[in-house]
Amino acid sequence: MKIIKYELLKIVTNKLFIFIFLVLWFINFIFLNYHNYLVPENDISHKAYKLLVSDLKGKNNLDKGIFINDLYQRAKAINIIYNIQNYRKSDNPLMREYADALRDENKEIYNMYYEESKNPIWKYTGNSDTELVFLEIIKTEYDIVNNYHKSLNNILDESKTIENVSIFNSNDNVSLKSISKTSDVYRSMLNTEVNYEVGKTVEKITSLNITDFFVLIIIFIFSMILTLEEKEKNLLIIIKSTKNGQFTTIVSKIVALFISTCLICILFYGMNFLYYYITLGCGDFFATVQSLSMFTLSTIKVNILEYLLMFFMSKCLYIFLLSLLIFYLSIKFNSISEVLLILFIIILINFIVYKGVDVTSNINLFHSFNLIGLINTNEIFRIYDNLRFYNMIVSKTSILLFLQVVLIFIFIILSIFKYLKNMNNDLRVNKIILKLKEFKLFKNIRFNSVFSFEVYKLLFVNKSLMIIIIFILFVSYNFKNQNFNLSYNEDFYKNYMDVLSGHLDKEKEEIIENTLNEYDKASKQLSEIQEKVKSGELSNIEGMIVSQPYEDVLATRSIFEKIEYKYNYIKENPNASFVYDTGYNKLFRVYKSVDFYDIYLIIFTVISILALFIMEYRTGVIQILNTAKNGRVKTANKKVLVTVIFCTFLFIISTVTEVIGIYKMYGLPNMDMSVISLEVFSNLPSNMSILTYLIVFYIVRYISYILIILLVEYISLKFKNMIFAFIVSIFILLIPFVMNIINNFQVNLFPFFNISLVRYNLAYFILVPIIVIINVFLYNSVVKKLE
Amino acid sequence: MLEIKDLNRSYGNKLVLKNINCKLTNGVYGLLGPNGAGKSTLMNIITTNLKADSGSILWNGCEIENLGNSFREILGYMPQGQGLYNGFTGYMFLNYIAVLKSVPKADIKSEIERVTKSVNLMDSINKKIGTYSGGMKQRILIASAIIGNPKLIIFDEPTAGLDPKERIRVKNLLGSLAKDKIIIIATHIVPDIENMAKNILVLKNGVLLEETSSDKLIQKYAPNGNLEDVYMSIFSNGEDL
């Protein structure tokens, strides 16, 4: 018990860990508020849900239905009245006519709500449109719950029909077994009582992926502190010799890991629970979970509170499994780079399995049972499903939970086994490891320069050669699996832009004008057909048939708007030309300041170079370096040079793959045209070609990338500890990127990859020198720090 | 000649070196003192790993700080603890240190052979350091300190972890090196320096208590004993051991 306490104390007294924990906890809190205050979903605030939950409290299902329906009908009616009033104000006589027709069609509700529409109170959202959207959502939810028993009967009827179909009607048939099992389970649910509850609170509590992400980071740090730090500080020998060493220590570590996993989950998911409980309100937590629309197809017989507990326990199970995996890797491998690399490969394999195994295949078990599939805890319980493993049929919920528990036990046993083995081998008596340690690639090669040694240290001692090979394989795999087919809309746009490509001339103007006329004509024809349908001249079906060709023409109208916009832009900016810009926009990060390519690059850069400086402190060789003629400035210089050259390869691989991918998919035409042909760069000098801008863009990116390299090195020298240097580097560089991608969170702490800054003339004169100055500063700091 | 003049160094409010003055010429010097006496601080200042608060260290009359890299060219240092790259072979490590010390390219091979022979590591020089025993690591560190024939060599606990046979070999090696060099050995293993050191520097609470030969020390502090008795006499503070 005491050892568990000390293992936990190791973490609690680790200031940086606590700091990172608190920061992530705080960011999680900001995210909770993000949808509530900053960008409410559909403009509906949490207050609306809370008010409705409170209004529905104490009502039975039927009363709730009447209440919701009344609210919905009222909101819908008043919205129709507003529409009628707006149409009446229109200059277009047809619209005024349509307003009258609409009023006649809705005479009853018009009369009923007309007076109220003059000064209505929108209790939940404050305005008519949002209130209608809100109540539509609620009504849909209610209808799903209210039709619960009907849906169950439908499932049972359907399964009966399928069972009777001859192709399934064989005793060995796996599909038949699955159908029978499903119908049996749903039949047992027929007695379940439902009483609608607003689902938002539970939905939000159980589906905030960003919290999972933060929890995983914390667990990652935690697992590594428990093992790698001990290794780095050579404490294993001491533990071995203590009375409570070895077995007790490893068991205590695992128990500490479990306790911490639960505590971290309580603190993060508990925060989510409390936050949404307070802001969204709660209905009857003792209603069956099927009273929530998202769980009507679930077959677990629990109430909402019990479900939340199950969710929490499953989350803990998953997080504990993952933490054990990291823990095991940290015991097995000696350096953080190796752990990260293997972890990355494992996650990649899981991702490939998740994406590659089809839900209908006969091994669909693996679609759900992998590190990616399991993260969505709700999916384990939300719908009853049978998973197949060849001829075996198993309930998805049971098997996923069972397999997680089995894996946990396996990892516990492996960790204990490996830990004890490491100890009793005095860390290096294993024959295979000994052989590997004896393996020498450069047996007879003599190096004559500090540079060569630094290259050797980076590539072979720190295994960055392996990292670059994995990076190439990873990038190649991604490239190979990239879908290069254009969507219909994109293809249409591309074809048009190919035709218009180049400077605007009379011929092109004519093409555009003609197309616009065609759209106008089609639009008019459609209006006329609608009029005829309204007046009874054409039946609805006839109207549909006649209007089809015009609708086909107008289907591309919204895409052509982009071309029309370009046309007008070029007329205002005579130096601009028609350029098919989708590829350029992607390349220049116009739509999103961050791409996955940036994330891969950052991860691999950090893993590759982090250890090069730290190894001198970890091994203690720094004391010799400091006393040698070439050991200070020269060594630091060479280290920086080697990492910059190495990372340049990573940069080139990443950039070239991205450019080729974009070129293959969209093409990069008209490079010689002025950069202002791309509207987003309208403020740049018109005499600059796209090609010149492309070169400048990549130069800026490259010097920004050097800044990242120097920053990682600076951090590594500041902390002199792999784990914390890694955490801080990832924290500063990667989290803003990931947040940007996951939640489109427009805060990027690292602005130099953000092209929006480069859109302005002045930015060229400010941005580049700023980055260069920071680079020089970081470079000097790195060199001085090694001194 | 290495001259230390009015050297002071403190950590926060604690003065760890107080007004150290001494002159060292070719030969072996033993640096004695208990933990916290200031030995490591003094060595770190001489090796330019640390800066003094005041005072100076002169090499042949020039301040070592001004000499910069040319001072490091004549310096060899073997730190305490076995700071080595496990992924390097012994040969590669010595090759690296030779490059760091600017040993001329043409001489690197012969230098490595010379120091490897000196520390009796010929058989395992092509093995990875990760497979070395503690004693072998200690010897490769000694070899790295003497490579390039430095004029001033500082050893921090050079015989720790060595078996008796290797200890005698190292003692002989250090003794033979001292003809044209200044060698400073900081150690707790008093017998290791008793017969070898020309002079013993005794540090107590940051003060250089004595700088004299071991015979004179014995005469003064333990007339019927040996250097170990001197150590006990100076540092035991009347405690019963």
Is B108 in the same domain as B227?
no
Judged by phi (left if over 0) then psi (alpha if -120 to 50, else beta), residue A673 lies in beta
Gap between the Cα atoms of B12 and B36, Å rounded? 15
Gap between the Cα atoms of A155 and A188, Å rounded? 12
- Residue B79 within any structural domain of the chain: no
Q: How many CB atoms are located within 10 Å of the residue A686 CB?
A: 15
- What residues of A are in contact with residue B48 (Cβ under 8 Å)? 626-627
Q: Best mutation site among B99, B125, B126, B149 for testing chain A: the one with the most A CBs within 10 Å? A: B99
Q: Above 80 in pLDDT, residue A219?
A: yes
**pLDDT tens column, A295-317:** 888 888 889 999 999 999 998 99
Is B235 in the same domain as B158?
yes
CATH number at residue B194: 3.40.50.300
Report H helices in A501-632.
506-535, 540-554, 557-572, 582-587, 596-619, 622-625
Q: Do strands B54-59 and B207-212 pair parallel, antiparallel, or not at all (unpaired)?
A: unpaired
Give the number of residues written for chain B.
241
At B10 the three-state DSSP class reads strand
- Residue B57 within any structural domain of the chain: yes
More confident call, A423 vs A748: A423
Domains in chain B, number: 2
Q: Above 90 in pLDDT, residue B111?
A: yes
The mean per-residue pLDDT over the stretch A361-373 comes to 79
Confidence tier at A747 by pLDDT (50, 70, 90): very low
Gap between the Cα atoms of A21 and A15, Å rounded? 10
Q: Please check whether residue B126 touches A, CB under 8 A.
A: yes
Is B68 in the same domain as B125?
no
Confidence tier at B114 by pLDDT (50, 70, 90): very high
More confident call, A341 vs A739: A341
Confidence tier at A240 by pLDDT (50, 70, 90): low
Is B155 in the same domain as B63?
yes
The mean per-residue pLDDT over the stretch A697-716 comes to 87
Give the number of residues written for chain A.
787
At A298 the three-state DSSP class reads coil
Positive or negative, the Cα torsion across A453, A456, A462, A467?
positive
Positive or negative, the Cα torsion across A406, A408, A412, A414?
positive
Q: Which residues contact A766 (CB under 8 A, 6 or more apart)?
A: none
Is B109 in the same domain as B7?
no
Gap between the Cα atoms of A227 and A232, Å rounded? 9
- Residue B194 within any structural domain of the chain: yes
pLDDT the model gives residue A435: 57
Q: How many CB atoms are located within 10 Å of the residue A205 CB?
A: 22
First to last CA, chain A: 45
Contact A20, A218 (CB under 8 A): yes
* Residue among B37, B16, B26 at smallest CA distance from B187: B37
Look-up of token digits 């060709």: A549
Q: Above 50 in pLDDT, residue A429?
A: no
Is B105 in the same domain as B121?
yes
pLDDT the model gives residue A653: 93
Q: Please check whether residue B102 touches A, CB under 8 A.
A: yes
**pLDDT tens column, A625-645:** 888 888 888 899 999 999 999
pLDDT the model gives residue A580: 93
- Residue B61 within any structural domain of the chain: yes
Phi, psi at A134, each rounded to 5°? -60, -50
pLDDT the model gives residue A426: 47
- Indicate the residue among B127, B149, B171 that finishes a domain: B149
The mean per-residue pLDDT over the stretch A434-454 comes to 69
The residue extents of the domains of chain A are 2-36+195-345+405-438, 41-170, 450-483+582-786, 504-572
More confident call, A173 vs B122: B122
Among A369-373, A438-442, A772-776, B232-236, where is mean pLDDT lowest? A438-442
Is B159 in the same domain as B45?
yes
Q: Above 80 in pLDDT, residue A767?
A: no
* Residue among A253, A336, A310, A243 at smallest CA distance from A607: A336
Q: Best mutation site among B100, B109, B129 for testing chain A: the one with the most A CBs within 10 Å? A: B100
Is B194 in the same domain as B235?
yes
Gap between the Cα atoms of A557 and A545, Å rounded? 20
- Indicate the residue among B106, B132, B149 that finishes a domain: B149
The per-residue pLDDT of chain A, averaged, comes to 81
Q: Please check whether residue A237 touches B, CB under 8 A.
A: no
The per-residue pLDDT of chain B, averaged, comes to 86
**pLDDT tens column, A282-299:** 888 888 989 998 888 888
At A73 the three-state DSSP class reads helix
Domain of residue B96, residue span = 84-149
Q: Please check whether residue A461 touches B, CB under 8 A.
A: yes
* Residue among A309, A318, A326 at smallest CA distance from A400: A318
Confidence tier at B72 by pLDDT (50, 70, 90): confident
- Residue B167 within any structural domain of the chain: yes
Is B62 in the same domain as B114?
no
**pLDDT tens column, A504-560:** 888 999 999 999 999 899 888 888 888 888 787 877 777 778 888 888 888 888 888
First to last CA, chain B: 39
Q: How many CB atoms are located within 10 Å of the residue A520 CB?
A: 11
Which residue is closest to A461 within chain B, CA to CA? B87
Contact A250, A412 (CB under 8 A): no
Is B55 in the same domain as B97?
no
- Indicate the residue among B149, B180, B201 that finishes a domain: B149
Q: Above 60 in pLDDT, residue A241?
A: no
Contact A280, A49 (CB under 8 A): yes
- Residue B132 within any structural domain of the chain: yes
The mean per-residue pLDDT over the stretch B93-113 comes to 91
Q: Given B47, B109, B130, which is nearest A627 (Cβ)?
A: B47
**pLDDT tens column, B170-224:** 888 888 887 788 999 988 778 888 778 888 999 988 899 888 888 888 888 888 8
